[in-house]
Structure formats: structure tokens, C-alpha cells
């Protein structure tokens, strides 16, 4: 082999450069992302088709045509078409049809994006973080407490409350990370249990005078002082911008930093990472701390952005929707942002849909969300239904099993 002689002399960079260097920051090739984008879009379309059937059969006008369906089938189809058209038009205009609608969608999406980023981050380090909900609640407690108890100048107050929210989430996520790193306790179990603990902690705190809204019998805290809220433009608050900045930061950490390199390596092959000298337990802990902080950031969207007060139902199901958002976004920051926007739009549009002529129940949007995620999680199903060509690229996000 002629390489033998060649290896002694270092190959001149001039020689190697022209071959490899012209695409310095090589853009992602279309055939790499296209298949997964295709299946995602196909999943969304399929879900909309099934949703259309449900809309038709939930409309009173359509049901009334059924008894004489075989005599006048055109009545059924006309009414069904009308109902589906009305509903989906309302869904679209209600979520992105006007500046106000878009702003509402953005505000609704922001917490989903933040919490989803937390799940994404943990995913990439090989951890299945089910605990966004609990991390979010603790973050909300911390941010809220600072927001309605401390008296600080505007701006600084916001900043301190924001940091408190981040820290609250980080502590809660970090506990699961340390347990995993130190004892090997599986994060799926610990984070689920931490969710219960967080919910109980919230109720306990709301029973204390320090958190109780004066003159109210409900388990509800006062809203935060105005000095601790995000500045608003119309109905859009600045927190949304923070959410997008967070997405950029997560992208940078994952793809451009040594920390992200370690996380992705540990997530993909912990044994090889350990052999290469990485501190695997430390990576697990760090990933969970960051994931928790992002969930805490999600909490501040409501508390500091929306003037929400602390209450047992304050978080809704954001922490769990975050898991589906991250799954739909295939555990990439950009994907998570897009999925968060989609889910935000669906939830805002759902209200408009209910108010439309077809009066479609807003639960339909939840069905749509569930169907989309179902189809994304089972790409083979979608490909089978749409006769798409199978490729190996369409792998769904996989968390490690119980052994991991």
C-alpha cells in the first residue's frame, strides 16, 4: 500500500482543503431532512382527514341528513362539506387569521416551546424526562413567590423573578439527574414521582399565608406585581421573545458546544462516551438541570407574562404536552419550536372552532394533536396508508429503555 510512505509526511492542507473545505458550514442536505418532514406533514394531513370525519358527525345539521341519506345523499355531503369547511376555516382564522390571533397563538405556544425544549434537551442526553410538569410547577412557585412578595424596582424585579423560576425548575430537574447519576434510579420513574411531589408541594404552599391571596377562600395566590411582569406589545408579551432566544441557545448548546457534544455522545452511546473519558453521571445531571430550568422558564410565561396566579390547575397539561411537542419536533430545537407553534395554534383555533357555525367541540383539537403525534410516532403506519416509499431515515425519537 502506498499510504505507508505518505503517512510520514503530513499531507499538505492545500491538498486536502479543496476536497473537503468548499462547503465550510455544510448545509443540511435535502435528502437528510426531507423524509422526516414529509412524514410529519403526512401525519398532520392524515390527522386533519380523520378530524374532518369527526367534525361532520359532530354537526347537528349533518346528523339530521342521515335518516334520508339513501334518498338524498347529496344533502349529507353538502352539509358535511359545509361543517368541515366552517370548522377548519375557523381553526385557521382563529389561530393565524389576524395580528391579534397570531399574538395569542404565540403567547399560547411560548410555554409549550420552553417546556418542550427541556424535554428535547434531556432526550438528546438519552434521558426521558417525564417531569416537565413538576419542574414547571416548582418554577412557578419560585417565580410567583418572588413576583408577589418581594418589592424590587421594575426590570430588576422581573429579572430576579425570572431567575427564580429557572432555578426552581433546575432544582427539581436536577434532583432527578443526581438520583440517576448517583444511584442509577431510572429517570422515568423519578420524574413521574417528582411530578406528584411538586403538585403536593404547590397545594401545601397555597395553604400557607405567605402564598394565599388576601380575602380569598380559593387555593389561589395573588398575581405578581406589575414590576415583575414581562413588558407587553398589544397582547404579546416579551416572554415569547425569551422563549425563542432559549430555543436558539439550546440549539447552540447541542450543536456547537462541548457540553452538547458530550450530551449527544452520552445519549447515543454512554459506554463509548465513558471510554472516551467523558463524565457520564455529570452529563446526566447537567442535562436534567438544564431541562428543569427550561421547564421553569415555561412557568414564567404564564406567571410573569400572563398575570396568572398560582393555583392547582394553573399549569394545565403543559408539562405533558411538552413531551408530545418534543416528540413531534423529533428532539431538535427547530422541530420543537415548530411543533410548539402548531400545538399553540390548534389550541387557540379550537376556541374559534367551537364558536363557528359548525359549533365543533374544542376537544376536537386535542384529538387532532393526539392523532398527529400517533402518526408521527408510527411512521410505518403513515407510509403504509399513503404508500410512501420507506426509508431508514424516518426513525422516531427513541428514548432508551428501562435498562438505560
Partner 1 sequence: MRLEIRGLTKRFGSFTANDHVDLTIEPGEIHCLLGENGAGKSTLMNMLYGLLEPTEGEMLLDGEPVRFGSPGDAIAAGIGMVHQHFMLVPVFTVAENVMLGREQTRGLGFLNRAAAAKLVRELSTTYRLAVDPNALVEEIPVGVQQRVEIIKALANHAKVLILDEPTAVLTPQEINELMGIMRELKKQGTSIIFITHKLREVKAIGDRISVIRRGKVVGTADPSASESELAEMMVGRSVKLTVDKEPAKVGAPVLEVKDVTVVDPRGVQVVKDVSFEARAGEVLGIAGVQGNGQTELIKSLLGLVKPDAGEITIDGKDIRKHGPRESLAEGIGYIPEDRSHDGFVGAFTVRENLVLDLYRNEEFSRGLALRLDALEENAARRIEEFDIRTESMESTVNSLSGGNQQKVVVAREFSRPLKVLIASQPTRGVDVGSIEFIHKRIIAERDKGTAVVIVSTELDEIFALSDRIAVMYDGRIVGTVTPDIAREDIGLMMAGAHGPAEAAEATA
CA distances 375 to 50, 130, 379, 382, Å, are: 12, 21, 6, 6
**Shortest reach from residue 315's CB to partner 1, in Å:** 32
Q: Does 380 bind partner 1 (CB under 8 A)?
A: no
Q: Does 401 bind partner 1 (CB under 8 A)?
A: no
Cβ neighbours for 272, distance < 8 A, ≥ 6 positions apart: 265
Which part of the chain contacts partner 1 (CB under 8 A), choosing from 9-17, 106-114, 182-190, 331-339? 9-17
CA distances 167 to 39, 45, 149, Å, are: 37, 40, 17
Q: Does 182 bind partner 1 (CB under 8 A)?
A: no
Instruction: In whole angstroms, give the CA distance from residue 160 to residue 341.
Output: 27
Instruction: In whole angstroms, give the CA distance from residue 300 to residue 298.
Output: 5
Q: Does 272 bind partner 1 (CB under 8 A)?
A: yes
Is 17 or 235 the residue whose CB approaches partner 1 more closely?
17
Is 232 or 391 the residue whose CB approaches partner 1 more closely?
391
Which part of the chain contacts partner 1 (CB under 8 A), choosing from 3-11, 61-69, 214-222, 327-335? 3-11
Query: Which residues make beta-bridge pairs with 314?
Result: none
Q: State residue 26 phi and psi, 5-degree precision.
A: -65, 120
Q: Does 268 bind partner 1 (CB under 8 A)?
A: yes
Query: Looking at 278, 290, 358, 376, which residue binds partner 1 (CB under 8 A)?
Result: 278
Is 237 or 330 the residue whose CB approaches partner 1 more closely?
330
CB neighbours of residue 277 within 10 Å: 6
Query: Which residues make beta-bridge pairs with 215?
Result: none
Q: What is the DSSP letter of 68?
A: G
Q: Does 258 bind partner 1 (CB under 8 A)?
A: yes
Q: Does 387 bind partner 1 (CB under 8 A)?
A: no
Q: Does 261 bind partner 1 (CB under 8 A)?
A: yes
DSSP one-letter string for 207-239: TSTTTSPTT--SS-PPPPPGGGSPPEETTEETH
Q: Does 400 bind partner 1 (CB under 8 A)?
A: no
Query: Looking at 41, 53, 245, 276, which residue binds partner 1 (CB under 8 A)?
Result: 276
Query: Looking at 5, 209, 275, 313, which residue binds partner 1 (CB under 8 A)?
Result: 275
Q: Does 7 bind partner 1 (CB under 8 A)?
A: yes
Is 85 or 281 the residue whose CB approaches partner 1 more closely?
281
Task: Determine the straight-line distance between the first and last CA of the chain, rounded to whole angstroms.
Answer: 43
Q: State residue 278 phi and psi, 5-degree precision.
A: -80, 150
**Shortest reach from residue 270's CB to partner 1, in Å:** 9
Query: Which residues make beta-bridge pairs with 233?
Result: 236
Using CB under 8 A as the criterion, which residues of the chain lie in contact with partner 1 when the complex forms? Answer: 1, 3-4, 6-7, 10-11, 13, 16-17, 19-21, 24-26, 256-259, 261, 264-265, 268-269, 271-279
Amino acid at each position: 500500500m502506498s499510504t505507508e510512505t505518505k503517512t510520514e509526511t503530513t499531507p499538505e492542507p492545500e491538498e486536502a482543503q479543496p476536497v473537503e473545505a468548499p462547503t465550510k458550514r455544510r448545509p443540511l442536505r435535502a435528502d437528510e431532512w426531507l423524509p422526516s418532514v414529509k412524514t410529519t406533514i403526512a401525519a398532520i394531513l392524515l390527522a386533519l382527514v380523520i378530524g374532518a370525519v369527526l367534525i361532520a358527525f359532530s354537526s347537528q345539521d349533518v346528523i339530521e341528513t342521515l335518516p334520508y341519506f339513501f334518498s338524498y345523499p347529496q344533502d349529507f355531503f353538502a352539509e358535511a362539506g359545509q361543517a368541515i369547511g366552517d370548522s377548519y376555516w375557523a381553526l385557521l382564522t382563529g389561530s393565524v387569521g389576524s395580528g391579534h390571533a397570531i399574538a395569542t397563538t404565540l403567547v399560547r405556544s411560548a410555554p409549550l416551546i420552553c417546556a418542550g425544549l427541556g424535554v428535547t434537551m434531556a432526550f438528546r442526553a438519552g434521558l426521558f424526562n417525564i417531569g416537565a410538569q413538576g419542574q414547571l410547577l416548582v418554577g412557578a412557585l419560585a417565580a410567583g413567590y418572588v413576583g408577589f412578595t418581594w418589592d424590587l424596582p421594575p426590570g430588576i424585579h422581573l429579572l430576579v423573578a425570572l431567575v427564580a423560576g429557572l432555578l426552581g425548575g433546575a432544582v427539581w430537574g436536577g434532583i432527578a439527574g443526581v438520583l440517576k447519576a448517583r444511584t442509577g434510579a431510572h429517570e422515568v420513574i423519578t420524574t413521574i414521582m417528582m411530578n406528584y411531589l411538586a403538585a403536593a408541594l404547590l397545594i401545601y404552599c397555597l395553604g400557607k399565608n405567605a402564598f394565599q391571596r388576601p380575602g380569598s377562600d380559593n387555593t389561589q395566590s395573588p398575581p405578581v406585581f406589575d414590576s415583575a411582569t414581562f413588558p407587553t406589545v398589544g397582547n404579546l408579551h416579551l416572554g415569547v421573545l425569551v422563549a425563542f432566544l432559549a430555543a436558539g441557545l439550546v440549539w447552540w448548546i447541542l450543536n456547537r458546544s462541548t457540553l452538547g457534544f458530550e450530551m449527544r455522545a452520552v445519549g447515543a452511546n454512554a459506554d463509548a462516551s465513558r471510554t472516551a473519558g467523558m463524565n457520564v453521571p455529570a452529563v446526566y445531571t447537567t442535562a436534567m438541570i438544564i431541562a428543569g430550568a427550561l421547564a421553569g422558564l415555561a412557568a414564567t410565561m404564564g406567571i410573569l407574562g400572563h398575570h396568572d396566579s398560582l393555583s392547582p390547575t394553573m399549569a394545565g397539561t403543559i408539562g405533558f404536552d411538552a413531551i408530545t411537542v418534543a416528540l413531534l419536533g423529533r428532539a431538535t430545537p427547530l422541530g420543537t419550536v415548530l411543533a410548539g407553534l402548531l400545538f399553540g395554534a390548534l389550541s387557540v383555533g379550537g376556541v374559534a372552532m367551537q364558536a363557528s357555525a359548525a359549533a365543533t367541540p374544542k376537544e376536537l383539537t386535542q384529538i387532532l394533536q393526539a392523532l398527529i403525534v400517533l402518526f408521527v410516532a408510527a411512521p410505518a403506519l403513515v407510509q403504509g396508508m399513503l404508500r410512501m416509499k420507506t426509508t431508514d431515515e424516518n426513525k422516531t425519537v427513541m428514548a432508551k429503555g428501562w435498562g438505560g
